[in-house]
Amino acid sequence: MNLFVNLQDLDSMLFYWINTGTSNALFDAIMPLFRDKWFWAPLYLFIGTFAWSNFGKKGWIIVLGLVATVGFADFSSSSLVKKNVQRLRPCNDPVMVDSVRLRVSCGSGFSFTSSHAANHFAAAL
């Protein structure tokens, strides 16, 4: 259990350093765009169109496999890991809430694992 506490402390220190020590106006303006689900829609449309136009019926199988992989990653992250680990988001953590710089609204659920990261990692596979 001591290792887990040390990892949480390290995670909090790294988050605080990134959130406050490396912030700048350019990233403050750009990064919220990457968080928006519609920002990625053209990429997904391109992947589907590319697969269909270059591989025909096999392209649809590729897209279906991609959707299934991302769906499984999202389910695993959101329904299995987050519900069991129950790690608070830094913006909801009573210890950190006053020192966190928010550029977008804070989510209401738990933060570990990042479903956004899990989904995009699954798509990259």
Distances (CA, A) of 91 to 28, 101, 124: 16, 8, 29
Per-residue pLDDT of 27-76, as tens digits, reads 888 888 888 879 989 988 998 899 989 998 898 898 999 999 999 998 99
Report the C-alpha gap between 5 and 56 in whole angstroms. Answer: 51
Q: Output the pLDDT for position 49.
A: 92
Q: Output the pLDDT for position 116.
A: 78
> Quick check: is 47 in a domain?
yes
Rounded to the nearest integer, the mean pLDDT of the chain is 83
Residue 49, SS3? helix
Does the predicted model carry a pTM greater than 0.75? no
> Quick check: is 31 in a domain?
no
> Quick check: is 125 in a domain?
yes
92, burial (CB in 10 Å: exposed 0-12, middle 13-18, buried 19+):
middle
Amino acid identity at 44 = Y
74, burial (CB in 10 Å: exposed 0-12, middle 13-18, buried 19+):
middle
pLDDT confidence band for 103 (50 / 70 / 90) = confident
Please check the confidence at residue 81 and state whether its pLDDT lies above 80. Answer: yes
> Quick check: is 96 in a domain?
yes
> Quick check: is 32 in a domain?
no
Domains of the chain: total: 1
> Quick check: is 14 in a domain?
no
pLDDT confidence band for 102 (50 / 70 / 90) = confident
Please check the confidence at residue 1 and state whether its pLDDT lies above 60. Answer: no
> Quick check: is 2 in a domain?
no
